[in-house]
Amino acid sequence: MRIFVSIKQVPDADDLRIDPVTNNLVREGVPAVINPPDLHAIEEGIRLRERYGGKVIVITMGPPQAENALREAIAMGADEAYLITDRAMAGADTWATSYTLYKAIKKIGEGDIYLFGRRAVDGETEQVGPQTGKWLGIPSVGYVSKFIEIGEGKARVIRTVENEEEEIEVPLPAVFTVLETINKPREPDILSLIKSKTVKIPKLSKDDIGAEPNKIGLAGSPTKVIKVHPPPKTRNPEIYRGNDAPQWVYDKIVKSLKEVNEVKETYVKPQPKAKVNGEIWVYIDHTGDEVNRVSWEIMSEGRRIADLLDTKLAGVIVGDDEVKPIIKEAFNYGVDKVYHARVKGFPFYINDVYTRALSKVIKKYKPEAIFFPGTRNSRELASTTAIEVDTGLIADCVSFDVDEKGIIYSTRPDFGGKEMSTIICPNHKPVMITVRGGVFYPIKIPKEGEVIVEEIEDLSTKFKVLNYTKLQKRNVLAEADIVIGVGRGIKSPENIKLAEELASVLNGVVGVSKPLADMGWYPKERQIGQTGTTIRPKLYIALGISGAVQHLVGISGARRIIAINIDPEAPIFQNCDYGVIGDIFEVVPGLVKIVRERGVPQ
Ligand SMILES: Cc1cc2nc3c(=O)[nH]c(=O)nc-3n(C[C@H](O)[C@H](O)[C@H](O)COP(=O)(O)OP(=O)(O)OC[C@H]3O[C@@H](n4cnc5c(N)ncnc54)[C@H](O)[C@@H]3O)c2cc1C
């Protein structure tokens, strides 16, 4: 069995820092490492070889120094490695990267299994795996949490997304992107490390792999980064350092909740900046008859972009008749019409059927742009559809603008929010964009309009769902109005009850920083941040949290942030509305007492 593992070399996120003068990310001198999620793909490849025999072939597209990443993979136990490198390949987006990987794979000699990490920590697109699968014309199974069995030309795996788990059988060859929970990557021993230094690693140029020059690198990329900039400052912190901190915090809690409750989410129609012919579409993600809420969140932003471009907003949904109530509901969120690509017998997402259905309506109705909620299924669907309809896909965006020519500017965080990139897709239509959840608010804009049903005839699929489970995991953190965040300043797991008490009197929910979840002090599903949950409460109170960027990206949508920290230099104080320089063990008990006595507006 030939097992390909595709990896990426990235700057070590732990060593990246912001220049305090220019506010830019300092890249110089930062060591490069294997993208951490790819380590799990390498490990899984080696484990599959240990179970079933064969060869693990690691590939990467990158500059000459990416060879080091391949040597590390060899040291872990991979058999062969190829470096795909050429100046002309620099600046590739996921479309051009996946095309290049596909051409290289064809050259090296195809495999049975292709493994990718779920995401790259620098860009978080989650696109390259499924897009490579699409170029190769083979099935792609994203978010694999377990390989159950491989045999008779088939693989049986568990696929886990936010609230669904499926046991799936696919014919090989196939692409699999693996979750970080699938295994624990091994550490290479010293001998293997030494041996890996002398292994010959062939280099493949664009000519070696026969890549068309207009499909690689920056020139071949449908999407272009036009600006890289520091994250915007959105808060104006008021800091308190005095003896009456509990009372001060109480007053700020009351003030914050009063202000936030008074603001009703209303839609203010903007003046058009340009006129385009195509419509703006929002893909409505669902599990059977249940909509994924992020679809409604991004609908309001879709409405705004449609109005800025003087065009119509449409919802687009793929599914069977179970989705009819969802279609009806969409008209509460500002759509002028809904396209329903009807796939009889497929109430749940299946990549090949849903890609075909969505591509068919796109090709027929030619929208200007499509916004997808940043859920796992939607990201995968957007990835494969972008290759099918031959357009660019911009990932994980958090803000948008348009210009007078009708170009959409999409801005997304890189390196977990240390830096922002603004990206356009100037020459391909539709512009496809995935939007991070928890950033926009669902706004009720009641409308009436038509439903256009497109019957999808070709319902053939390579996927066999052997078992489907809807996970009953309500994400209490994401839904909470008040969140009390606890960080390492709490010092011991027993002390978390202090935060629980505060949460209880405020009717809130406790969340934690990553170290607390990692140490097992609190459940992992209560972790806030880049690798945890993005929250968007009315009020977030951070207790003993320093305010690392990876934490901040998870709380940027909070309406008000109050921080209590003993260290005046803690970055959280630059990123809150109200801050108390003080000891949580002194401030919080007093605060709990006052809230208990006087209550707060809910
Ligand atoms: C790839 C990657 C992903 C990550 N994802 C996440 C993520 O999703 N979420 C996340 O949170 N982190 C994440 N991190 C980790 C992040 O970089 C920080 O290490 C982490 O957020 C720090 O947690 P903390 O603020 O609790 O701890 P620390 O940084 O140690 O801060 C503790 C704070 O407590 C204060 N303190 C101590 N005693 C008291 C006291 N008595 N009263 C008041 N204050 C006190 C200190 O002054 C300090 O500021 C990630 C890191 C990486 C590399």
pLDDT tens digits, 474-511: 678 888 999 999 999 999 999 999 999 999 999 999 99
Asked whether residue 268 is assigned to any structural domain, the reply reads: no
Co-location of 248 and 314 in the same domain:
no
Residues 430 and 506 reside in one and the same domain: no
User: Which class for 169: exposed (0-12), middle (13-18), buried (19 or more C-beta within 10 A)?
Assistant: middle
- Measured CA to CA, the distance from residue 574 to residue 570 in angstroms comes to 8
Q: What is the mean pLDDT of the chain?
A: 94
Residue 471, pLDDT above cutoff 90: no
End-to-end CA distance of the chain: 60
Clarify whether residues 41 and 184 are in a common domain.
Answer: yes
Separation of CA 254 and ligand 1 centre (Å):
27
CB contact at 8 A, 295 and 284: yes
Higher pLDDT, 259 or 500: 500
CA of residue 228 to ligand 1 center, whole Å: 26
d(CA 446, CA 336): 10
**478 and 462 part of one domain:** no
Q: Is the pLDDT of residue 24 over 70?
A: no
Give pLDDT tens digits for 550-573.
898 889 889 999 999 999 999 999
> DSSP characters for 483-506?
EEEE-GGG-SGGGHHHHHHHHHHH
144's CB contacts (< 8 A; 6+ apart) are 157, 158, 159, 160, 176, 177, 178, 179, 182
- Residue 441: inside a domain: yes
Q: Give the residue from 445, 466, 487 where a domain finishes.
A: 466
Q: Is the distance from CB of 545 to CB of 572 less than 8 angstroms?
A: yes
Half-sphere exposure of 37 (CA within 13 A, CB side): 23
Flag whether 21 is in a domain: yes
Q: How far is the CA of 530 from the centre of ligand 1 (A)?
A: 12
The CA R_g of the chain, rounded to the nearest whole Å, is 25
Going by pLDDT thresholds of 50, 70 and 90, the confidence category of residue 53 is very high
Closest CA to 434 of 471, 476, 396, 392: 396
Atom of ligand 1 nearest to the CA of 532: 8
Q: Tell me how many domains the chain contains.
A: 3
Residue 22 is predicted with a pLDDT of 66
pLDDT per position as a tens digit, 511-520: 999 999 999 9
What counts of helices (H) and strands (E) characterise the chain?
A: 17, 33
The separation between CA 454 and the C-alpha centre of its own chain, rounded to angstroms, equals: 30
Q: Tell me, yes or no, whether 64 and 142 share the same domain.
A: yes
- Contact 548 CB / ligand 1 (< 6 Å): yes
Tokens of 134: 């699409």
Of 385, 349, 347, 376, nearest to 145 by C-alpha is 376
331 alpha carbon – ligand 1 mean position (Å) = 42
Q: What's residue 415's pLDDT?
A: 79
pTM of model > 0.75: yes
Q: What mean pLDDT do residues 572-597 have?
A: 96
Both structure tokens of 361: 């309506």
Tokens at residue 352, please?
A: 């090949």
Whether 46 and 189 share a structural domain: yes
Together in a domain, 182 and 251: no
Q: What is the DSSP letter of 231?
A: P
Question: Which pLDDT tens digit goes with each residue over 214-242?
Answer: 999 999 999 999 998 887 777 999 999 99
Nearest ligand 1 atom, CA 491: 38
Please say if the pLDDT value at position 399 is more than 90.
Answer: yes
In a domain, 486, yes or no: yes
pLDDT at 27 over 90: no
Mean pLDDT of 158-177: 96
The answer to whether residue 270 sits within a structural domain is no
Nearest CA to ligand 1 atom 29: 546
Tell me if 425 sits within 8 A of 222, measured CB to CB. Answer: yes
pLDDT of residue 231: 79
Cβ of 551 below 6 Å from ligand 1: yes
The two beta strands, 369-373 and 431-435, are parallel
Cα(141)–Cα(383) distance, integer angstroms: 12
Q: Which two tokens stand for residue 394?
A: 């911009």
Domain-terminating residue out of 466, 488, 521: 466
Flag the least confident range among 79-88, 114-123, 245-254, 257-266: 257-266
Pocket test for ligand 1, best of 18, 512, 546, 591 (most atoms within 8 A of CB): 546
User: 437 and 523: one domain?
Assistant: no
271 falls within a domain: no
H runs (alpha helix) in 77-187: 94-108, 128-136
Query: In this predicted structure, what is the pLDDT of residue 23?
Result: 62
Longest pairwise C-alpha distance within the chain: 75
> For the residues 303-331, what does the mean pLDDT come to?
98
Pocket lining: 130 vs ligand 1, CB cutoff 6 Å? no
CATH number at residue 330: 3.40.50.620
At residue 83, the pLDDT reads: 98
pLDDT for the residue numbered 414? 84
Residues 374 and 187: their CA atoms lie apart, in Å, by 33
Q: Is residue 142 scored above 70 in pLDDT?
A: yes
Q: What is the DSSP letter of 445?
A: B
- In this structure, are 339 and 452 located in the same domain? yes
Confidence label for 533 from pLDDT (cuts 50, 70 and 90): confident
Instruction: Give me the CATH number covering residue 580.
Output: 3.40.50.1220
Phi and psi dihedrals of 4, rounded to 5? -90, 140
Does any domain span residue 538? yes
**18 pLDDT tier (thresholds 50, 70, 90):** low
> Do 387 and 412 belong together in one domain?
yes
How far away, in angstroms, is 182 Cα from ligand 1 center? 25
Q: Which of 466, 495, 521 is the last residue of a domain?
A: 466
Coil, strand, or helix at residue 306? Answer: helix
The answer to the question of residue 385 being in a domain is yes
3-class secondary structure, 201:
coil
Which residue has a Cα nearest atom 50 of ligand 1?
A: 550
Does the CB atom of residue 486 touch ligand 1 within 6 A?
no
Distance (angstroms) between ligand 1 centre and the Cα of 564 equals 13
| Beta carbons within 10 angstroms of residue 21's beta carbon | 6
Is the confidence at residue 163, as pLDDT, over 90? no
Q: Does residue 524's CB lie within 6 angstroms of at least one atom of ligand 1?
A: no
- Predicted confidence band of residue 20 (pLDDT cuts 50, 70, 90): low
Catalogue the E-assigned strands of 415-461: 419-424, 431-435, 450-455
Residues present in the chain in total:
602
Q: Which domain holds residue 325?
A: 280-466
Q: Tell which one of 549, 565, 573, 574 to mutate to probe ligand 1, the residue whose CB is within 8 A of the most ligand atoms.
A: 565
Q: Provide the 3-class DSSP secondary structure of residue 354.
A: helix
Q: Strand pairing partners for 453?
A: 340
Same domain, 318 and 259: no
Quote the ligand 1 centre to 28 CA distance (angstroms): 25
Same domain assignment for residues 372 and 458: yes
